[in-house]
Amino acid sequence: MSSRMPMTRTAYVGAMGSRRTHEERLTRLREAGLTDHELDRLHSPIGLDLGARTPQETALSIAAEIVAHRHGGTGVPLHTGVPIHHSAPPLVGVTEASA
């Protein structure tokens, strides 16, 4: 991940890797000058816990996290009684065409 990425204009940034890799990445990005506010937007390890084992399942877990983030979802199973539809404001810089 480049520390030159315009984190202030990016709606969502996700990175694969272990939790240890993520902590090391955060250290390097802080040393490169990124703020905690900018780093709070970094989702890593990316994906929801679906018990994924295959690359396709991993891709599904990542897509699910992106959709949940975009629309204010929780990732909690619907049978627990959480609202099925959320009303979330649109993300800055994200349009249907670019999503």
The three-class DSSP label of residue 17 is coil
pLDDT digits (tens, 9 = 90+) for 12-56: 788 998 999 999 999 999 999 999 888 888 889 999 999 999 999
**DSSP string covering 19-41:** HHHHHHHHHHHHHTT--HHHHTT
Model-wide pTM > 0.75: no
Q: Count of CB atoms within 10 A of residue 32's CB?
A: 11
**CATH architecture of the domain with residue range 8-80:** 3-Layer(aba) Sandwich (3.40)
Cross-strand bridge partners of residue 43: 14
Domain positions in the chain are 8-80
The pLDDT of residue 8: 58
